[in-house]
Structure 1
């Protein structure tokens, strides 16, 4: 909309009055005028009529920095302001609950929304672990306006202050969920769904839910996540802004000097230094994000870039940002990006992938293949100032091919995976989440929290709240009964004389620990202290001892002493350092990505975005693909062993791995391949034929032969039967595996 200007009675320049603009309260209209906007954004124009009605759930999908926050809150605040004017009574609770996945995002939105809410005299409160107790207490004692909160803090309020929080929810007109895509298909997502349902239960009526996201692969699936069982009734509003121009470069590197002859060098490879050199040369003097996938790589590249700055005698512009760094260090890195007078490049993990307000980046860099297409899209959305194109540089290392190189590595799989993901991004495809996961660990957390919230609850009421009408709809009554028995055996719950489920002694201890509020693991960690200030944490699995050299937060340290009892490590600055181990598992790759990789090998086109070495690596990969005749076969001999090239997603690969292990094969998994040791292709083919015609096992039965099935926080309380079902729902896909095996058998030329 182009809004022609006119003189207002009080002298402001007014935006033209479209139908959407006219629906806004006059205080909000005046705020828009004061911003000197010529237009409302597309997503705002579309959202205002639906959101201001306040009687439906809505998903707002638009690119990063497209005005989604205002698209939600301009109409929300207009409706709330109008309601306050007609009620003639003071507010008796919060009007809006805004739920965010990140504390840093809440802090950003707090400043942004305060400015907007001042226009209509509506207060804004934030609640998370870094907010002072006095401010939290004040907001709950006198609830009013907007509450910005994390899922964990909602959990804490329902658990610790249920009566006060229930009362504070009686006036809520909207619940807003930001970055909704980051929750879907995760334990934290199940927790969020349960919390949304429990907040509505506390008010005893349905509250409109507004979800915001820049990356939605399947809108209908997202709608079902937002309102389980009624996704078809959710309004989906997607921005119709024109697509952004993209400038893209994928640089390939053959790592010819990765390790010394003993294979145990701590020094970074020459290839890593080459990548750092390219980043240093092309990014200095601008604002950029470099996504390095892991915390170890963040520390490695930040250190290399800082050293290059020192060697060249120029100011250091490179900073680190990841979840193990202290809040102060992360916020300092964010401030460097917001400061217009000085350029900065921040090397980061997913911590800067979401919507924290750091302004537009001149470019985005990605070191290594991105974890997913969705993640790549989210990261790319950070780039593109005004009408400038988005710029993405991707750096991919592949090993030098030698006698010991695995068959998979000869195909240059990381480069080809990156090409596949970029092509899928350009096709506007994103990974759908696994909505079949039982997430029994999160169900345990929610059940214990529900018991604590009400002091006790009937078993059928708990099932109705959490499962039948809640987010755990795929849990049967039989499974729920087994879960109750398991928790009773562990003394987490017990049953009172009137039949109510009440907290057991072990449950009391568990729920009183601050760690209980989160649905995910919180590993034991050392606290790192330098100059009497905490600079971050490291998992206790990373060996730290006096004299150990460390790279952390872009600085080099020596371990001065270790207090094992308090798990505190004291550091002092040092000239040398080594990148620590942080732990963590890689992403689960989707079948569509692997199928796209297969297409890349079988086609002859060269992507225009590859540099010359990348082109050479791709051609090498295609040559080895043809040499192995992988277009015609899947079962390939390698010495005394056999390699299966499966070209499918990790859940299916995992399932075939378990099926082959179950019949006695020694199998190891690497990416899309399975290596069967000491076995010839003919024998593997015979067994696959047998599997294809055998009555399939239930996924839970197949999981029985998996050794370590404890994946999530409270899995240790599950019976073996429940543990099998839970593991299978997350990491196995029997129908998909049998389909793939049947295809292999039909297509095999053995």
Structure 2
């Protein structure tokens, strides 16, 4: 039987066998060889540490040699700079075997190294979508020369991109890159398990959907893989969570995931109070601080690293013994990513200890684990109606080209959906009317309003599709530790002002308000404040809240439950007994209020509230589980009012303040901005399904 490595370039095959010592390729790597070498678009799916990078890069390197590619041939795009930094040494090793070079380009790369890349481009360039956009709009980069030889783009963690506006931004930038290169560019996505792989691949193909051959490569789970060891516990507080983590699995290497930076800091401080060697990783730590802690953790034993989702996306921190999850992650897909961090060594199995803080957290975690047990993984769905990204792209293209044709601009996006619609023309007309663009004969130039709004720092604010809240840089001497919310520095406090950052307590010595900097010194003890502005929560999904209802109705997640978790779940089932029914939603009176217990999720309930109109209490915004109705509601009024509503669903009303969270909506016509956000706040199919369900009334005296 011919070994799979025979399909690789001989030099590469030699090093895979002799330098890496691999007796064979992994199933994903073997299955990906032919489609990638044939030039097909592909989506490669495997758990964390499943060999996805090699599955994409090995056949591309082989094609590079066999087809004599020259110049910058491959872009490797990641969502995180830290992930790029982590990948660089490994990809340099593989490329060097063939005499090829790899470069790195992102915001932390010195200008001298970028200039070297422009003078003599590498064969593979690692970058982010924002850095790629900055190359296109920069007056110092000859992007046509740089991208003239491009053949393929690898998009790592493509599911993470697809779930928000960075995905649309990346997709639109790739269309422009393809036009600059003058050829169709092969697109290869690397993804963890998703519920809609074929749909995700078609989305990644962009304008090439249906025109370029494509294949999903997903070998599936090993049949001999051991069942993971998962336990669900209820601890009630961060100090209790720290006690459990400090006591269990002593001598092992543990990665703890938290849902916020504040929880990371407070848990890390509590763990250090128990004498546990603890490291910290989250997005508000300085890059050097994160790198030092992640490297120290990778080389240590008997320690803990506490992290937000930043360590979910494949950054190598060495072999792990345990994963601990504080509360539930936001999706089954995320849970699978985190679970896949363990069980990599022979003789070990994947494991996760889930510690929940509140009753709601326990119910959410139990629901998520029920979904996981049923094998359900959420689809990766791009947000609908990216009109604000269309506006950003029109401005960015004008900067890139200096002048765009008033009629030819759609050609740059090769007919991709959002640029085919009539609303794209509406967006352009609005940009012209408001002075963001101005006419010059048959062309368009950057207008004075765009200069004023985005012109600072060479229009770099146009390269990012999210607005980061203003933060203060925290420094000890000349060393940056990280960033903190300004509220920590302005809130009233008795005595010394103390910060909690990088898992340590610092005293604020001096604040430079003009430059947004504060200088600190380490102090002994605890009591520092950790705080950051949080983005608005998308709430729980319809499938997750329905699984939570199943838990209340008696379904147990297929994992070990501690006595504490079992006891609290029993109490929750009793407390919620009047809010659930296996075959219907429930309308119940509680005191003076009438609640419709939909168990349908935030977006579904927001759609239902808007559709119900005067039947819903206008003073109540609703939540994931129920909607408050008029307190004089009776069965007859309800049945008459909802008859036929499935055909008259309304998207949620949009508060103007909510528009501030969507960058570039201020360059849209106001009605289009509201329509964009309303489409993202709605779940019309789920709302129709809920309205079609029977309703059980538990309203005494009615």
TM superposition score normalised by structure 2? 0.92
> Which residue of 22, 28, 33 corresponds with 1:48?
33
**What's 2:542 paired with?**
591
Local SS of the residue matching 1:644: strand
1:135 aligns with 2:120: no
Tell me if structure 2 keeps the 8 A contact 1:528–1:536.
yes
Map residues 353-502 of structure 1 onto 2, 5 A cutoff.
353-387=312-346, 388-398=348-358, 412-435=359-382, 437-466=384-413, 469-470=415-416, 472=418, 476-477=421-422, 479-498=423-442, 500-502=443-445
Please say if residues 140 and 165 of structure 1, whose CA atoms lie closer than 8 Å, have aligned partners that are also in contact: no
Question: Could you report, residue by residue, the CA deviation over 1:203-240 in whole angstroms, capped at 9, with x for unpaired residues?
Answer: 12111111111232211121122113555642110134
Tell me how far 1:159 sits from its aligned partner.
0.7
Tell me the residue number matched to 2:217: 237
CA distance in 2, matches of 1:606, 1:198: 47
Deviations 1:418-441 (A, max 9, x none): 122123223332212344511222
User: Structure 1 residue 714: deviation in Å?
Assistant: 1.0
- Kept in 2, the 8 Å contact 1:52–1:76? The answer is yes
1:262-292 Cα shifts (integer Å, max 9, x gaps) = xxxxxxxxx3212110101124422221001
Tell whether 2:468 aligns with 1:522: yes
Residue of structure 2 in register with 1:178 after alignment = 156
Conserved? CA contact 1:464–1:470, under 8 Å: no
Q: Is the 8 A contact 1:47 1:60 kept in 2?
A: yes
Relative distance call for 1:395 and 1:122 in structure 2 (3 A) is same
Kindly report which structure 2 residues correspond to 1:609-624, keeping only aligned pairs within 5 A, or say none: 609-624=560-575
Describe the SS at the equivalent of 1:334: helix
The answer on 1:296 being equivalent to 2:242 is no
Please name the residue that 1:267 is paired with: none
Aligned to 1:531: 477
- TM-score, normalised relative to structure 1: 0.86
Q: What corresponds to 2:297 in structure 1?
A: 337
d(CA) in 2 for partners of 1:83, 1:605? 56
The residue aligned with 2:624 is 671
SS in 1 for 2:183: coil
Pairwise CA RMSD: 2.5
User: CA shift at 1:657, angstroms?
Assistant: 3.1
- 172-181 vs 738-747, which moves further: 738-747
C-alpha contact 1:636 1:681 (8 A) present in aligned 2:
no
Secondary structure class of the residue paired with 2:345 = coil
1:642 match: secondary structure: strand
Q: Which runs of 4+ in 1 moved over 4 A?
A: 229-232, 604-608, 627-633, 660-664, 694-700, 704-707, 744-750
Change (3 A) 1:231 1:600: farther
Distance of 1:639 and 1:707 partners within structure 2? 33
Mapping 1:160-179, distance limit 5 Å: 160-161=138-139, 164-179=142-157
- The Cα of 1:524 is off from its aligned counterpart by 1.3
Displacement, 1:573?
2.1
What does 1:274-285 correspond to in 2, within 5 Å? 274-285=240-251
Q: Which secondary structure does the structure 2 equivalent of 1:347 belong to?
A: strand
Q: Which runs of 5+ in 2 are unaligned?
A: none
Whether 1:320 and 2:257 are equivalent positions in the alignment is no
Shift of 1:61: 0.7
Question: Where in structure 2 are the equivalents of 1:180-219 lying within 5 Å?
Answer: 180-219=158-197
In structure 2, C-alpha distance between the alignment counterparts of 1:542 and 1:189, rounded to whole Å: 33
Q: In 2, Cα distance between the equivalents of 1:687 and 1:559?
A: 59
- SS of aligned partner of 1:137: helix
Name the residue aligned to 1:268.
none
Distance 1:123 1:604 in 2: 55
Q: Offset of 1:736 from its aligned partner?
A: 3.3
Q: Is 1:724 the counterpart of 2:667 in the alignment? A: no
Q: 1:558, 1:163 → 2: CA distance?
A: 44
Q: Note the 1:596-611 alignment, pairs <5 A.
A: 596-603=547-554, 605=556, 607-611=558-562
Match of 1:507 among 423, 435, 450: 450
Q: Which one of the candidate residues 627, 634, 639 is aligned to 2:586?
A: 634
